[in-house]
A = this chain, B = another copy of it.
Amino acid sequence: MALTETVEKKGLSLILFSGDLDKAMAAFTIACAAAGRGYPVYIFFTFWGISLLRKERGRGKGVLEKMFKLLLPVGPEKTGLSKLNFCGIGGALMRLLIRKRGTQSLQELIEMAMERKVNFIACQASMKILGLRRSELISYDLLTEGNAETFLEKAEASKVQLFI
């Protein structure tokens, strides 16, 4: 019987399905901490999570797409809470509380993730369904496009996997 050599693979593969302020903050807090510990970190932005990568509203093709693109938030400053949002009031309150406490905002956490070389992967199927083009997403060297296969490849090599 051959003994396999095991390389202790750390690493975090995180699917960010939610685009909510609170969940995105949790995701980026964990991602930044993991990158700080020297893990390779991969965030897969899918469905609502992709809204965090949008830098501009962009034009939709057709009525349906236009509607969805209007309803979907653009960037981390426009997202609401997953609970107690009350049409945006909860999100605004949370942002005020965060500023008051001196804790990091979502925008700051995303920038820290970029400084720490966290890999961003935008889900191609979600981009297709929501009608988002690459040019509508933020510029970042480590932002690539991928699919479920890409996630599984990275997940296999990661110690920790989360769906947020």
Residues of A participating in the B interface, judged by any CB pair closer than 8 Å: 1-8, 10, 12, 15, 17, 19, 22-23, 26, 29-30, 32-34, 36-37, 39, 46-48, 62, 64-65, 67-68, 71-72, 82-84, 93-94, 96-98, 100-101, 103, 125, 128-131, 147-149, 151-152, 155-156, 159-164
Contact = CB atoms under 8 A, between A and B. Distances in A.
A125 to B, nearest CB: 6
Contact of A17 (B6, B15, B26, B151): B26
A6 B93 CA distance: 47
Given A29-B125, A94-B129, A97-B68, A152 B162 contact: no
Contacts of A19: 83
Nearest to A20: B83
Copies in the complex: 3
B98 A129 contact: yes
